Amino acid sequence: MSNLSVIAGKSSEELAKKLSKKINANLVKSEVRIFADGESKTTLNGKISKKKSIVVQSIYPPVDTNLIQALSLISKAKETSSEVIAVIPYMGYARQDREFLPGEIVTMKVLGKLFKGAGASKIIAVDIHSMIGFKHFTIKTKNVSAIPELVQYIKKLSLKNPLVVSPDQGGKERAREFAKELGSEYIALEKIRDRKTGKVQIKTKNIDVVNRDLILVDDMISTGGSIVKATQFLKKQKCKKVYVACTHALLMNDAEKRIKKAGVIKIISTNTIPGKTSIVDISNTIAKAI
């Protein structure tokens, strides 16, 4: 029996399978039954290692269901293994890392307690929305970047004089890192978002993108509002092709359709969230982190 088992949560089955091969671990699958009232019942199939278990479960929609399943898997693994590492490729709730408006609950603080209580000794996430979220955890945490893997894919596209673009100032550091890996230049647009309505406007002036292929880079795309606005703005500046590269493609409420309609040729994302656009495999990066 292997000293290492990978427990595949329902939300990350394929990724867990790839990871278990890379680190030569015994794969334990999970069966989930959802009852009429929304409760989920999880059953594990396979032998759990006494030494170390790695639970792989992304927390994307339905977020609360996938979170409860992650915690349940960790708790079950801890009954047998002396060490449980939780790989949460997409960390739901990571945007709720501080009190933006008075009275708001910092949900990441709650998650920190839950993961520790369930029995995780370490958490590994991929491109967590903000590192501040992990400050609320008392167990070990590690954040890994999907940028090198995404860049490898972009390099195969042989783009014309590529320029990396962040849709906002908040993603400037990411765009800089992406451009450095790619060996290109980068810019960050300036946007204003109304905290109450969520409406986005771009206030950047005078950028020269004429005849250049652009890669819009973000950590996650939820409804795609910022990407759509940025693409429309860049298209008016007479750029050539526009690609989108992101780690987590949530693509809620027809986001993919609206992004394509705005003029994006292709959305490239990783398999932290399985879907049509998740063509970049991140299992290697996670394997190294383990």
Instruction: Give mean pLDDT in consecutive 10-residue pieces for the chain, a chain of 290 residues.
Output: 89 98 97 95 95 98 97 98 98 95 95 98 96 96 98 94 94 96 95 76 80 96 94 92 98 96 97 97 97
Annotated catalytic residue within 47, 191, 229, 266: 191
Q: Which helix (H) or strand (E) holds 180?
A: helix 172-182
Quote the pLDDT of residue 48: 96
CB 30 within 8 A of CB 44: yes
CB 75 within 8 A of CB 119: yes
Which SS3 state, helix, strand or coil, does residue 103 take? coil
Active site residue 29: no
Full set of structural domains in the chain with CATH: 4-145+282-289 (3.40.50.2020), 147-271 (3.40.50.2020)
Preceding omega of 62 cis (within 30 degrees of 0): yes
User: Quick one: which of 280, 237, 229, 235 has its CA closest to 255?
Assistant: 229
Quote the pLDDT of residue 229: 92
Contacts of 84 (CB under 8 A, 6+ apart): 52, 53, 54, 55, 74, 77, 78, 119, 120, 121
Quote the pLDDT of residue 270: 98
